[in-house]
Structure 1
Amino acid sequence: LIPEGTSRTLQIDDIALNLANREAAISGEPLELTATEFLVLKTLIEKAGELISRDDLTQIALNRKLTLYDRAIDMHVSNVRKKIGTRPDGTPRIKTVRGSGYFYILPG
């Protein structure tokens, strides 16, 4: 049970994630995300401004450990990045820290 007053929606910039029904929207328009892409975006937004390692993101979104030449999480982040695009002012939303992981850039 979710305590009363607990939001079931994550919002950042013009992106809204409805956690109850796993739907996403950008500027009010539905965003078609796979279940894995939804988890990737949810995780990045929940920890906006914090670096999330590829290991952690793989564990959360794919429910498995990252292996040596595993590029699956990078592909999912790439797909999310394409689907959400840049901010209305043209600045990126997701930053890659080479060899470390990813983070959602805080607005403003």
Structure 2
Amino acid sequence: MRGSVPSRAARSRPASSASTWTGTRPKTPLAGLVRLRELSLFHNRIRDPTPLVENPGIGAGDVVDVRCNRLSLAPDSGDMRAVEALRGRDVRLRYAPQGAGGCG
């Protein structure tokens, strides 16, 4: 129907299927959300920030909060490399503390 508003499910569905596999990792629903300006993932048990880095829509001026998750902030960890990649794109990233240290 011309001019009708698509259903909620149709509007929120990512451009590619979340069940599609690339390599050994599935694409996440986050991959299709390229118009985000602020994303709070505070206290969500996240262990892998890679989908944030892989999202081309997250960039300069966007705000992402991943505090109080399960990321490793060790200097040479993959998680910290992801943090640095996002910061290198001028994302306003809030990432410390992690785990039990101050997350109560």
TM-score by length of 1: 0.31
> Whose strand fraction is larger, Structure 1's or Structure 2's?
1
> Whose helix fraction is larger, Structure 1's or Structure 2's?
1
Larger Rg: 2
TM-score by length of 2: 0.31
